[in-house]
């Protein structure tokens, strides 16, 4: 949908709105490498992508928050004094949670008419929730002159999801959606929140996201299970080295200490996390040296570890990744996100993208009976005001 169509729809929904219209955009994100390391205080390497969430808004004089989305049929109207109360309409709680955080921090807001539109596939692991949170925070920061820096936008957006929505997500998604820059990936230390923008030169290659068509039905329960297993690994390792998270260990240290973990399953979980941290470090060096082939091989190794050590892939992701790896011009492919459905990501030679989509789609459908979707995407800037 083009921007003029969004403006027209806004005028139809809110014909009597007051002050000038403001709009903002926040991208989605894909994690290139570094999976299930964020909640272990490790390293991640996501990038923002071309799909995302648009928000058009205008102040009103009614002290009302009016929510509408072109992606959903429900509209909601809430007195701003009641912003601390959750809505019965689930999607509204993501922007409402951000508004609640701002008010709780003592910042003065007034009524707003809001219209959202997003083209990030739901339940695909491309961070539609962080996108809607961050676009809300970015626009309100501008409209009300709140003078909130980008890192604080990241933190309050994550806090909204943790406390208002009740999802115990890490901080990677909000960071990438807010801070990434085009032609870069975001190298983030989840323990210190130190970050670096790493040049991502894809000369002759494209990022292709492969949606399995399988919703991540087991992801939440298995996520909680893996968090508990990593905590047990830390307990074992604490008998040799005091640590609070697996992200504090180097791979070399883990190799020397792993015999302390008697449970083979727990040892495999820890092995994935610590080795994945090392792969992220190696991947950053590969990008700095413009070595995409090495980067692709690290993506492959990441998926293998997620499949055999962390056991969070599932038949659909393994099938689509195996199919992708067997097409000419593919440097690497791996699952991305929590696992058990959702998406994989691959680096594909640009001239082979059409053949890649055809061959992978045919092989995957034949083996699973599902129809995949493919998104040929680009890196993108983080959230920004589009029009004031």
DSSP 157-216: HHHIIIIII-----SHHHHHHHH--TTEEEEEETTT--EEEEE---TTEEEEEEE-S---
Find the mean pLDDT for residues 162-186: 92
Residue 219 has pLDDT above 70, yes or no: no
Instruction: Judge whether 154 and 174 are in contact, CB under 8 Å.
Output: yes
Output the pLDDT for position 313. 95
Output the pLDDT for position 70. 96
Q: Is residue 122 part of a domain?
A: yes
Output the pLDDT for position 315. 96
| Share above pLDDT 70 across residues of the chain, in percent, rounded to a whole number | 97
- Which of 191, 199, 269, 257 shows the shortest CA–CA distance to 227? 269
Output the pLDDT for position 18. 59
Residue 262 has pLDDT above 90, yes or no: yes
Torsion angles phi and psi, residue 137, rounded to 5: -65, -40
Which residues form the domain of 38?
3-199+380-387
Using DSSP bridges, classify how beta strands 205-211 and 112-118 pair: parallel, antiparallel or unpaired: unpaired
Total count of residues recorded for the chain:
388
Output the pLDDT for position 126. 80
173 is catalytic: yes
Output the pLDDT for position 166. 87
Q: Which band of pLDDT confidence, cut at 50, 70 and 90, is reported for residue 123?
A: low
Instruction: Judge whether 388 and 41 are in contact, CB under 8 Å.
Output: no
Residue 17 has pLDDT above 80, yes or no: no
Q: Is residue 207 part of a domain?
A: no
CA 163 to chain centre: 18
Q: What is the number of domains present in the chain?
A: 1
Residue 102 has pLDDT above 80, yes or no: yes
pLDDT digits (tens, 9 = 90+) for 67-83: 999 999 999 999 999 99
Residue 93 has pLDDT above 90, yes or no: yes
Instruction: Judge whether 29 and 177 are in contact, CB under 8 Å.
Output: yes
Residue 260: other Cβ atoms inside 10 A: 14
Mean pLDDT (the chain) is 94
Q: Is residue 251 part of a domain?
A: no
User: How far apart are alpha carbons 347 and 327 in whole angstroms?
Assistant: 11
Residue 249: other Cβ atoms inside 10 A: 24
Q: Which residues pair with 26 in a beta bridge?
A: 53
Torsion angles phi and psi, residue 78, rounded to 5: -130, 125
Output the pLDDT for position 19. 63
Active-site residue, from 173, 203, 263, 318: 173
Find the mean pLDDT for residues 187-212: 96
Catalogue the long-range contacts made by 203-206 (C-beta closer than 8 Å, 24 or more residues apart): 204/349, 204/350, 204/351, 205/292, 205/331, 205/347, 205/348, 205/349, 205/350, 206/347, 206/348, 206/350, 206/353, 206/376, 206/377, 206/378
Instruction: Judge whether 341 and 314 are in contact, CB under 8 Å.
Output: yes
CA distances from 278 to 185, 290, 302 (A): 17, 18, 10
Residue 18, helix vs strand vs coil: coil
E strands in 190-311: 195-199, 205-211
4, burial (CB in 10 Å: exposed 0-12, middle 13-18, buried 19+): exposed
Residue 1 has pLDDT above 80, yes or no: no
Residue 234 has pLDDT above 80, yes or no: yes
pTM value is 0.93
Residue 111 has pLDDT above 70, yes or no: yes
Residue entry with tokens 């002159």: 145
Q: What is the CA radius of gyration of the chain?
A: 21
Output the pLDDT for position 258. 96
Q: Is residue 215 part of a domain?
A: no
Find the mean pLDDT for residues 365-371: 97
Q: Is residue 60 part of a domain?
A: yes
Output the pLDDT for position 246. 98
DSSP 101-159: HHHHTT-----EEEEEEE-SPTTSSS-HHHHHHHHHHHHHHHHTT----HHHHHHHHHH
Q: Is residue 86 part of a domain?
A: yes
Instruction: Judge whether 258 and 270 are in contact, CB under 8 Å.
Output: yes
Q: Is residue 216 part of a domain?
A: no
Q: Is residue 189 part of a domain?
A: yes
The CATH number linked to 20 is 3.30.230.10
User: How far apart are alpha carbons 162 and 93 in whole angstroms?
Assistant: 12
Q: Which band of pLDDT confidence, cut at 50, 70 and 90, is reported for residue 222?
A: confident
Residue 88, helix vs strand vs coil: coil
Residue 182: other Cβ atoms inside 10 A: 14
Which two structure tokens, joined as six digits, stand for 242? 């005091």
For the chain, give the longest Cα–Cα distance: 69
Residue 217 has pLDDT above 90, yes or no: no
């Amino acid at each position: 949908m083009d921007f003029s169509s969004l403006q027209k729809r806004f005028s139809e929904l809110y014909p009597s709105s007051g002050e000038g219209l403001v709009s903002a955009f926040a991208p989605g994100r894909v994690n290139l490498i570094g999976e299930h390391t964020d909640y272990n205080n490790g390293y991640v390497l996501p990038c923002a992508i071309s799909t995302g969430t648009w928000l058009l808004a205008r102040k009103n004089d009614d002290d009302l928050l009016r929510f509408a989305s072109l992606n959903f049929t429900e509209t909601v109207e809430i007195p701003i004094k009641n912003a601390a109360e959750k809505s019965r309409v689930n999607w509204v709680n993501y922007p409402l949670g951000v508004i609640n955080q701002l008010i709780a921090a003592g910042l003065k807001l007034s009524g707003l008419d809001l219209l959202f539109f997003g083209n990030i596939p739901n339940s695909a692991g491309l961070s539609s929730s962080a996108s809607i949170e961050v676009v809300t925070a970015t626009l309100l920061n501008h409209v009300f002159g709140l003078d909130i820096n980008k890192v604080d936008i990241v933190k309050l957006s994550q806090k909204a999801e943790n406390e208002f929505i009740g999802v115990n997500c890490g901080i990677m998604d909000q960071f990438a959606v807010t801070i990434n820059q085009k032609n870069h990936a975001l190298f983030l230390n989840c323990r210190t929140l130190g970050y670096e923008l790493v040049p991502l030169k894809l000369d002759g290659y494209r990022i292709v996201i492969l949606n399995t068509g399988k919703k991540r039905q087991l992801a939440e329960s298995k996520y909680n299970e893996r968090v508990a297993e990593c905590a047990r690994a830390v307990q074992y390792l604490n008998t040799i080295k005091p640590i609070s998270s697996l992200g504090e260990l180097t791979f070399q240290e883990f190799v020397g200490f792993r015999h302390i973990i008697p449970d083979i399953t727990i040892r495999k979980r820890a092995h994935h996390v610590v080795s994945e941290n090392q792969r992220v470090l190696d991947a950053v060096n590969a990008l700095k040296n413009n070595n995409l082939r090495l980067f692709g091989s690290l993506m492959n190794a990441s998926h293998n570890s997620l499949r055999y050590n962390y056991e969070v892939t599932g038949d659909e992701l393994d099938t689509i990744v195996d199919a992708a790896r067997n097409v000419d011009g593919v440097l690497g492919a791996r699952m991305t996100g929590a696992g058990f459905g959702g998406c994989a990501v691959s680096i594909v030679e640009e001239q082979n993208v059409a053949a890649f989509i055809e061959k992978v789609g045919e092989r995957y459908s034949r083996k699973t009976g599902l129809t995949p979707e493919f998104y040929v995407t680009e890196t993108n800037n983080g959230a920004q005001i589009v029009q004031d």
